[in-house]
Amino acid sequence: MDFDPQFTIDDPARNDARPDRDAPWPGGRAPTVLQVVPTLVTGGAERGCIDMALALAEAGGTPLVASQGGPMVRELDRAGIPHLTLPLASKNPLTIRRNARKLARVIRERRVDIVHARSRAPAWSAWLACKETGARYMTTFHAPYNFGNGLKRWYNSVMARGERIVAISDFIRRHILDSYTVDPDRIRTIHRGIDRAVFAPDRVSSTRLVQLSKQWRLPDDRPVILLPGRLTRWKGQTVLIEALEKLGRKDVVCLLVGSDQGRSAYRQELEARVARAGLGGVVVMTDHCSDMAAAYLLSTVVVSASREPEAFGRVIVEAQAMGKPVIVSAIGAYQETVIPGETAWVVPPADPDALANALREALSLTPEQRDAIGARAQAFVADRYTKERMCADTLGVYAELMAER
């Protein structure tokens, strides 16, 4: 439901209008938290925003979300969580100022305690609105925002201005401290979490497996190598194709699962590489998959061949939750989201020889060895990377800010 920033005194979304707001929060009052993201189309920041809105409502607080909109707004609608549509994806300075004025009005009228920004353009509007109204301002770093000049560094710095800064991995925490002048005590490392109700082998029916297998025309007797990720060069699809050529096996299927998002030239380049390598019967490029849990379960090994650091690397955590062995590049957060030699092979980035050797070992596992790796991987994820843990830790940050009011 899109909400009108005009607010009336008898609106039930007000903090003091609901009788059930006596959750164990500092001061005895649960917060109203406004999260701002560019859009609600797809992605980690968007998923985290929705998860936290639902968790805050469950904890007795009042969640509000502002974005440019998208299909994920339906999840908020189903939960009765108000959504404000604003052009928050815009980097135009005038639009950012206009958004800030509208957010400031919402903060006053909805009595917002905390504004939680998850991306740079909306963060500028949120920061300006908080400066005007006195609401608490916090951020989540969902990526290593790189910069090549002082202007870009200044633009990125809005994410480091939070009274609390959430880093989604230890890798991101190091990036923040290396790139900005920030008191380390303001940073909280809270890893992203996956939904174990979705990514659990026993939750995937045989019907879903058969449907997806038929859609992709997978033969029953060939191992499946899965690389999930949008078609972009830094995701390393070319590295995997070269590794498959060195592997020299034609009795496998390699699925490159992900949209090209308009990068048709790169898709054509990949198709040409596959043809030159003689892997036309091995490598299959599919579009976005809406049932990744089934895709993981159909795979023999899941690969991330990223050439640049991942801020977290959600797909590898999901794959481990599904009990699958994984192969990752030795950069970024992958060095903390797997157990090398126990749940994963870790190889140097952009090294097709090392990747080919890891594939050879992974494909030669016995069923017993594969099951043992899968059990370790599932236990590892359940202990560290669940949605429940992520939400509980973030609610703890909200409580810290409420206690300091």
Residue 372 sits in a domain whose CATH number is 3.40.50.2000
Amino acid identity of 187?
I
Q: Which pair of structure tokens corresponds to residue 375?
A: 């059990």
306 by DSSP, 3-state: which? coil
Residues facing residue 64 across a β-bridge: 34
377 with 241, same domain: the answer is yes
- Would you say residue 1 lies in a domain? no
Q: What is the predicted pLDDT for the residue at 4?
A: 52
Q: Are residues 139 and 242 in the same domain?
A: no
Is position 370 within any domain? Answer: yes
- Which tokens in the block code for residue 7? 């607010």
**Radius of gyration from C-alpha coordinates of the chain:** 23
Report if residue 4 sits inside a domain: no
Do both 222 and 313 map to the same domain? yes
In this structure, the strands spanning 114-117 and 32-36 are parallel
Q: Within a domain: residue 247? A: yes
Q: Amino acid identity of 76?
A: L
Q: Do 331 and 273 share a structural domain?
A: yes
Amino acid 129 reads A
Q: Are residue 157 and residue 276 in the same domain, yes or no?
A: no
Spatial separation of the C-alpha atoms in residues 158 and 162, rounded to whole Å: 8
pTM of the model: 0.88
| Residue-by-residue DSSP string for 324-388 | --EEEESSGGGGTSS-BTTTEEEE-TT-HHHHHHHHHHHHT--HHHHHHHHHHHHHHHHHH-BHH
300 and 171 in a common domain: no
Same domain, yes or no: 40 and 171 = yes
Domain assignment present for 8: no
Tally of domains within the chain: 2
Domain contains 113: yes
Q: Are residues 229 and 171 part of one domain? A: no
Max CA pair span of the chain = 71
Report the alpha-carbon distance of residue 334 to residue 314 in Å, rounded: 10
Helices and strands per DSSP (H, E), number in the chain: 14, 13
Q: Look up the domain containing 151 and give its range.
A: 15-193+387-403
pLDDT per 10-residue tile (average), the chain, 405 residues: 42 37 75 97 91 97 97 96 97 97 98 97 98 98 86 94 97 95 96 95 96 94 95 95 96 94 90 95 92 97 95 95 98 94 97 98 97 97 96 97 90
Q: Is residue 9 part of a domain?
A: no
Q: Are residues 142 and 35 in the same domain?
A: yes
Question: 275 and 371, same structural domain?
Answer: yes
Closest CA to 194 of 22, 359, 37, 47: 47
User: Which string of DSSP letters, residue by residue, matches 142-197?
Assistant: -S----SSHHHHHHHGGGG--SEEEESSHHHHHHHHHHS---GGGEEE----B-TT
Which amino acid is it at 38?
P
Residues 297 and 217 in one domain: yes
Indicate whether 232 and 336 sit together in one domain: yes
In a domain, 3, yes or no: no
